[in-house]
Amino acid sequence: MSKSESSILIVKSPFHSTTSIEKSLVEAGFEVTFVEDHEDLLNQAVAKPPDIIFIPVELAEGDGIEMCYEIKNHQELSSVFVVLISKKKEDFTQIAGLDSGADDFLVSPVQARILALKLKALLRRKGNEIGLHNERDELRTEDFVIDRERYVVIQNDREIYLPKKEFELLSLLSAKPQKIFTRQEITHSVWGMGAIVQGRTIDVHIRKIREKIGKRYIQTIKGVGYRLHA
C-alpha cells in the first residue's frame, strides 16, 4: 500500500453486492480488503487496524450492528471509523446502528461513487482531528480528563473508552465549558461540513455519553443545543 492510500476492511455479505463498490474505492485510492466473518474481521483489524471498517447490517451469520458495537467498544479499535449499510429504511434500524457507535449509516442501494466520496470526507475529518490533537492533547474539567492522544476519558482513576463519535462530541463540549453548542455547530464539528445528520442522532450520542460519565455534566438547552456544565 502506498502512503497515499487509505485502508478499508469490508465484511462480505450474500445480501449486498460489492463489485462496483470495490472498483470505485480502488479508483479513489483505497486499499480494499475483504473479510469473511466476525472472527476474520477482528483478527485482521487488530493485527493491522484499518482506517475504515465497512459492515453490512444483513450478514450470513450474525448482525452488523452488534459487530459495530463490539468494534467501538474494543480498546484497540474504538477509534477506527465504522460505516454501516442496510437495505432496511426504517428509522429504528438507523437509530440502532448509530446508537451502536457507527460513524455513518447508509441505506442500500447507494451509488459507489457517492460512497467513495463519503468515506474520503470521513478521512478528511480524521486529518483535522490530528491537527487539533497536536494543539491540545489533553482537556481537563473539574471531574474528568479527556486524553485526546489515547482516545480515553479518565474519571475518578477509571479509564472510559468511548466510541469515536461520542469521544469527539464530548471533546468538543469540554473544549469550551459553559458555551452552548448549537446542533449545527455539533454537526459541523463532529460529522463534518455538509453532513446531513438527524437531530435524533445527536440526542442518541448525548444519551450514551451521559450513561457513561454521568447525567449531570451535559446540559440540554431546549431548542438550541447542548453545553458542558462541569
Let me know: does 37 contact 65? Beta carbons within 8 Å. no
| Count of the separate structural domains present in the chain | 2
- My answer on whether 11 and 51 are in the same domain is yes
Last residue of a domain, which of 127, 147, 162?
127
Do residues 67 and 43 lie in contact, with contact meaning Cβ atoms separated by under 8 Å? no
10 Å CB burial of residue 5 (0-12, 13-18, 19+) is middle
| 171 backbone dihedrals φ, ψ, rounded to 5° | -60, -40
Q: Tens of pLDDT along 89-103?
A: 888 888 888 888 888
- Claim to verify: residue 123 and residue 12 sit in the same structural domain: yes
* pLDDT tens-digit map of 117-149: 888 877 776 654 444 444 456 788 778 888 887
16 and 90, same domain (yes or no): yes
- pLDDT score recorded for residue 6: 84
Asked if residue 158 belongs to a domain, the reply is yes
Q: Is the pLDDT of residue 160 over 60?
A: yes
Task: Identify whether 1 is part of a domain.
Answer: no
Shared-domain flag, residues 22 and 111: yes
Please check whether residue 179 lies inside any domain of the structure. yes
Domain for residue 49, yes or no?
yes
pLDDT score recorded for residue 126 = 60
| Joined grid coordinates for residue 214 | 454521568
Q: How far is CA 35 from the centre of its chain?
A: 20
Residues 13 and 110 in one domain: yes
End position of a domain, from candidates 127, 159, 182: 127
Q: Which CATH number is 210's domain given? A: 1.10.10.10
pLDDT score of 127: 54
Q: Examine residue 86 and state whether it is found in any structural domain, yes or no.
A: yes
Same domain, 140 and 69: no
Please determine, for residue 88, whether its predicted confidence score (pLDDT) is greater than 60. Answer: yes
Does a structural domain hold residue 195?
yes
- Which structural domain, as residue segments, surrounds residue 220? 136-228
Distance, CA of 215 to chain centre: 22
Give dist(CA 154, CA 146) in Å, integer.
6
The pLDDT tens digits of the residues spanning 40-81 come to: 999 999 998 898 999 999 988 889 999 999 998 887 887 788
To which residue does cell 484499518 refer? 50
User: At 17, which CATH number?
Assistant: 3.40.50.2300
Among 101, 127, 153, the domain-final residue is 127
Are 141 and 112 members of one domain? no
CA-to-CA distance for 230 and 217, rounded, in angstroms? 6
Q: How does residue 230 score in pLDDT terms, banded at 50, 70 and 90? A: low
